[in-house]
Structure 1
Amino acid sequence: MTPEAEFSEAVSGLAPIALRTAATLRLADHIAAGHNTATLLADRIGADSDVLGRVLRFLVVRGVFGEPEPDVFALTPLSVTLLDGHPSKLCAWLDEGGIGGRMDTATRALTVAVRTGRSPYASIHGDTFYQDLAKYRSGPDFNTLRQSHSESFADEITAVFPWEGVQHVVDVGGGTGAFPEALMRRYSGLHTTLVDLPDAVAAAVRRITAAGLEKRFTAAPGSFFHPLPSGADVYTLINVLHNWNDDDAVRILRRCAEAADRNSTVVVVERLIDGADQRAITTMDLRMLLLLSGKERSLTQLRGVAEAAGLVHGQRSATAVGLDWVTFHTSGTQQPAADNRARGPSVLSQEFGSDIR
């Protein structure tokens, strides 16, 4: 597609809407099951066959579906990703009836965000994103979507940091446990603790238990705005800080600094604004603004919030999946020392609160 044609498609705005319609109606799954004409599909889903056929042809022209003969539709490599069982979970993200659809509603209020400098989410839905997420139960489960996203990079980021000799890692805001699982699989002597809200931590416990790694794992349900488990070798924040404005990012990092000892390392993993994939970075930057008043930061901006929290910058590394890995310390130490290791996870669970295993 030429730049002019791409611009014209973006201006029309119809392609993403048609794609979300196809996902919400589960057209790919129905076609895969043999309901492959507009009439059969309309009967199956309770739709107008003429309008449905027009939507399908709109998507055929764009390669989403195929039309091997008139009014007979087929899957293409693109529409295969819309199948309910596809590992990308793309259909769930695009479903207008789920949390992904509610997120997309907020993206339509970019003009409001530009004028106010704040997320329009609460003005649209009545609650902030996280408040809405906590009570909104219609449609696909957000933790399932979050897990599929984490799995796409968990193995890659375990290969960047020098984990040899590290005994205990606290994953702050670690979701459903994809990273702790990948880390413990790779390093048999390493213990992890996961801090997140109770529903995410419960999902992580199920995941870690199914993997047979529960003896080296501690669940720490709670908010990362509250005191964190103390004295670990490494504190990781993976795709966490970009969800928050600068003041809240400082509060989160300050909790890490308070929990860390003089030899601990705080690791921030997310896309920096000067990274290579500018399409992905600029998209995520606006998404964070619209949903959460968050932002993608430059290295200088990230250093600024870390220094305000009492942390000293160490080094930056890039991963193959486009994420940057930036280390910080409570002192000038560049790597966690081999001695002065953290206490065992059973002690940590007593200090922090309930262990829901």
Structure 2
Amino acid sequence: MNPFFNDNDSVSALEAQYNAQRIAFAPIVFQVARSMRDLGVLKALYEHKEGLSIEALAKETNLSTYGITTLIETSLSADIVKQKGELYFITKTGCFLLNDPMTIANMNYNHHVNYQGLFSLDEAIKSGKPTGLKVFGEWETIYPALSILPENAKQSWFTFDHFYSDSAFPEAVKKLLSLKPSKILDVGGNTGKFSMLIAKSDKALHVTIMDLPEQLALARENIEKAGLREQIDLLPANVLAPKHSFPKGFDIIWMSQFLDCFSEEEIVNILSKAKEAMNEQTLLCIMEPFWDRQRFETSAFCIINTSPYFTAMANGCSKMYHSKDFIKLIEMAGLKVDEIIDHLGVCQSILKIKRG
């Protein structure tokens, strides 16, 4: 585990005051940065390494000099652009805002999915319900609504979700196939991406995706397009339903970025149900981005700051976990971590779990 954020009070009082103002104005800086990207200002600066004046930028982007000046001056204060005389240039930070896939996914996700709803974070914290979700409609959680969210929100949500999981999938497939399974239960399989990838990698393997009916509708369409109906079954289920139980007879029960969608009490409940379906040979493999097990502080920062989305938008009660806290929940369910495999893809770890 890495000691992230342990030395975060070492600045001077003047620097601390400045940091506080950067936080106070963060919503404005965020929207200016996004407008700089989406209105083509960053692209113009990136393509003109010789620099551009306010007037040249206005002409290049078909925006007013007033609009450009407003965007540029905030961007100057946020280290997105730099100035030499009358000319402006894109900085390294500006280049990441424009071109970095992680930054693009994070920014679109926060703008289209979270921005308006997080206005209700106080209410969500106090009530334990995703009160910000009302900006999209009246649901108890976001999950049944994912397939019918406004297009920008839906695309941003799935791009964000897949960015943090997909990069780990090829390595995860190799790890699971090395265990020689014949049947895998993919719990919370979402759009079916992982199940399709592992099924294509081993034609003798049979996979069952267990998820909400609304999610399986998306998976079914993808599986049929991929011609994998013979290898992949779909099992509609709500794992929180009191009478729900896990099916038995699987070599591996797989959960990828699934349990972070639930409260601690719900996680213990789900894991306890999984345990009842496991024999001595069954492995429960959980892939999660634990913020304390990251290689870089940037990843830890991104993962931690996904938690308020769960509070205000998703369900009001879940979060991204520190591995120590998560392992306690596993042990409370009567299970034991046999092995931890870190640094898969951008940020993932796999916990290999057996009956305690």
TM-score for both structures, normalised by structure 1? 0.69
Cα shift at 1:230: 3.2
The answer to whether the 8 A contact 2:190-2:219 is kept is yes
Deviations 1:269-309 (A, max 9, x none): 21335434442443234443333320233445434444554
Corresponding position: 1:59 with 2:72: no
Corresponding position: 1:147 with 2:162: yes
Q: Which amino acid aligns with 1:54?
A: T
State how far apart, in whole Å, the 2-side matches of 1:223 and 1:30 are.
49
Distance 1:281 1:73, change over 3 A: closer
Distance 1:42 1:212, change over 3 A: same
State how far apart, in whole Å, the 2-side matches of 1:209 and 1:67 are.
54
Distance 1:80 1:170, change over 3 A: same
State how far apart, in whole Å, the 2-side matches of 1:16 and 1:10 are.
11
Q: Which amino acid aligns with 1:296?
A: M
Aligned counterpart, 1:257: 275
Aligned counterpart, 2:264: 246
Corresponding position: 1:296 with 2:320: yes
Aligned counterpart, 1:224: 239
Q: Following superposition of structure 1 onto structure 2, how do residues 13-52 of structure 1 map, counting pairs within 5 Å?
A: 13=26, 14-22=28-36, 25=39, 37-42=57-62, 48-52=64-68
Q: Which amino acid aligns with 1:174?
A: G
The answer to whether the 8 A contact 1:168-1:234 is kept is yes
Distance 1:10 1:136, change over 3 A: same
- Structure 1 or 2: more helix by fraction: 2
Greater RCO, 1 or 2 (C-alpha within 8 Å, sep 6+)? 2
Cα shift at 1:216: 2.7
State how far apart, in whole Å, the 1-side matches of 2:96 and 2:301 are.
24
Aligned counterpart, 2:349: 324
State how far apart, in whole Å, the 2-side matches of 1:273 and 1:94 are.
19
State how far apart, in whole Å, the 2-side matches of 1:176 and 1:56 are.
40
SS in 2 for 1:317: strand
State how far apart, in whole Å, the 2-side matches of 1:283 and 1:99 are.
10
SS in 2 for 1:319: strand
Distance 1:170 1:22, change over 3 A: farther
Cα shift at 1:18: 1.6
Q: Following superposition of structure 1 onto structure 2, how do residues 1-357 of structure 1 map, counting pairs within 5 Å?
A: 4=15, 8-13=21-26, 14-22=28-36, 25=39, 37-42=57-62, 48-59=64-75, 62=78, 64=80, 78-79=94-95, 82=98, 88=101, 91=104, 94-95=107-108, 100-116=111-127, 119-122=130-133, 126-130=138-142, 133=146, 135-140=148-153, 141=155, 142-161=157-176, 163-198=178-213, 200-208=215-223, 213-225=228-240, 226-272=244-290, 274-276=292-294, 277=297, 278-291=300-313, 292=315, 293-299=317-323, 301-307=325-331, 309=333, 311-320=334-343, 321-329=346-354, 331-332=355-356
Cα shift at 1:194: 2.1
Q: Which amino acid aligns with 1:323?
A: Q
Instruction: Provide structure 1 residue ranges, at least 5 long, that are not aligned to the other structure.
Output: 333-357
Cα shift at 1:234: 0.8
Distance 1:194 1:24, change over 3 A: farther
Which of 205-214 and 48-57 deviates more?
A: 205-214
State how far apart, in whole Å, the 1-side matches of 2:141 and 2:103 are.
20
Q: What root-mean-square deviation, in Å, do the aligned CA atoms of Structure 1 and Structure 2 show?
A: 4.1
Instruction: Provide structure 2 residue ranges, at least 5 long, that are not aligned to the other structure.
Output: 1-9, 49-55
Cα shift at 1:55: 0.8
The answer to whether the 8 A contact 2:210-2:234 is kept is yes
SS in 2 for 1:290: helix
State how far apart, in whole Å, the 2-side matches of 1:65 and 1:37 are.
13
State how far apart, in whole Å, the 2-side matches of 1:268 and 1:65 are.
42
State how far apart, in whole Å, the 1-side matches of 2:262 and 2:85 are.
50
Query: Percent same amino acid among aligned pairs?
Result: 17
Cα shift at 1:210: 5.5
TM-score for both structures, normalised by structure 2? 0.69
Which of 292-301 and 231-240 deviates more?
A: 292-301
Distance 1:133 1:216, change over 3 A: closer
Q: How many pairs are equivalent?
A: 320
Distance 1:70 1:168, change over 3 A: farther
The answer to whether the 8 A contact 2:133-2:312 is kept is no
State how far apart, in whole Å, the 2-side matches of 1:253 and 1:146 are.
22
State how far apart, in whole Å, the 1-side matches of 2:236 and 2:20 are.
46
The answer to whether the 8 A contact 1:175-1:204 is kept is yes
State how far apart, in whole Å, the 1-side matches of 2:337 and 2:273 are.
18
SS in 2 for 1:37: helix
